[in-house]
Structure 1
Amino acid sequence: MSGQVVVGVDGSPSSLDAVQTAAGEARLRGRGLRVVYAFLWPAMHPPSGPSPLGPVGGELRAGVERVMAEAVQRARTAAPGVATANAVIAGEPRAVLESQSRTAELIVVGNRGLGGFAGLLLGSTAVHLAAHGHCPVMVVRGRKDATGDILLGADGSRAGRPAVDFAFAEASLRGTPLIAFHAWNPRTERALSGPADPRALVCAEERLRDEATRQLAEALSGKQEQYPDVPVHRRLVKAGPRPALIEASGSAQLLVVGARGRGGFPGMLLGSVSQALRRHAQWPVTVVR
């Protein structure tokens, strides 16, 4: 994919942080940046004229222009050499950004917005884009200083392969090591098998550990040859994937996960693990379908 990096804004501090992050991502990729304000008329005050930004005394237009000017300035300060364009698009934010994702290389949004209609841009829209977008979606949250490794939540599933590709490419762009993280939980098999001899439980855990090792190796197969510049550290953890990844994210600069993996139910486009990470991870999270 060779499109721009697109960032959604609404004037909230979270969205301006997202602009700064998006500018850095565009610079890393050698791409342009497109700052998008998705404009939706308040339901109780529909426009009386043909223009989507008027004729409500110019106040609405002036407010949007202030937001856009501040966002563009933030982008140019963060990445002076990046070509930055902007667009105000009338429409429901989720639909607007989903449409933008068709030609984008990456969509970046903040973790929370202003509330009401504006909040849709950076709240529920992050979930919607992760489930329905046509490119990776980065949700900016937590601390802003880009230190630490790239943390990849790898489960060895076919659905998780694009996330593996993205994580390696991102680590190569940033010149940082990659931590390939796989969590396995012996409680699942215990619950299914019921009370058992302690020796049987030990054997079951060993079997699960071996399977987790195989799944992680399968997920990384061929990638170290493709990205010889990326040091890879494999980490197997005996724990539930959600709390384990949230805790591990504290020492990473970016967390990358798939939209759904082995634990997803049919029809669930966004897995419970990626949803939990989007809400609670300590660093930016990129969800890759």
Structure 2
Amino acid sequence: MVKVQSFNYHAHTKRCGHAIGEDEEYVVEAIRNGYRKIGVSDHIPYPNGYLETDRMHEDEFEEYVESIQRLQQKYAKDIEIRIGLEFEYYPDFEEYLWDMKNRVDYLILGQHDRGLFALDFYKNYRDEDTELYGKLVVEAIEKGLPDILAHPDLFMYGKEEWTATCEKVAHDICKAAQDHQVLLEVNLNGVKYGKCKRGKETRYLYPYRHFWEIAAQYDVRVIYGLDAHFPQKYSDQKCYDIVNQEVIYDLPLTFVEDLSFDKKI
């Protein structure tokens, strides 16, 4: 593990509706805090306005790309910037997702809900929901869509306890990531909620230690993700300290020391 990573590829923009700040403010803050490479990976728009309250609209995508491209040019001497998207995998949208993959530099898979028409997986999360989460994540990885898997342990947000199903899903996800060389992200955003009561545990909602104990058994590459929703997240040292000292402190995870994505657009 590292004290602070020199790159971050998980950051959002105000277009998603739940982040704040101008695009340039994120870049300036990243430079000020010594980051050498960053990516902007706002929530992908889906056709026909699906889930548009949590992501940019379709007609904002071109402006999103153009805005980041202007910043690439303006700050080329100071920092490397790439353009990405964070997506949920739904089989019905596979063709669309492949099209979008070809329109950005990289894709992050961040599976946030139970399925196409079930939006809130943060409450009353059952084993069958965990199974579906694992199925969708593994299928997306096997299809070759994501470069990074964000918060792979997010299913524990709504779980009261770690079950045999959680164990199996964790193994399935880590095996798929290993086989297809997808990066696993230790997400640094979950600790902002503090420790919460879940069943018999009082813990951070994510990252969740049991998942990363399993990840340590596989030949997977790991990165940190700020999951920045405001520019000042780039100055947040505390999130690194909490995760390193309280969650993954002694685990033999293989952290990537440097990471670049080819510029495709």
State the TM-score, normalizing by the size of structure 2: 0.30
State the TM-score, normalizing by the size of structure 1: 0.28
Larger Rg: 1
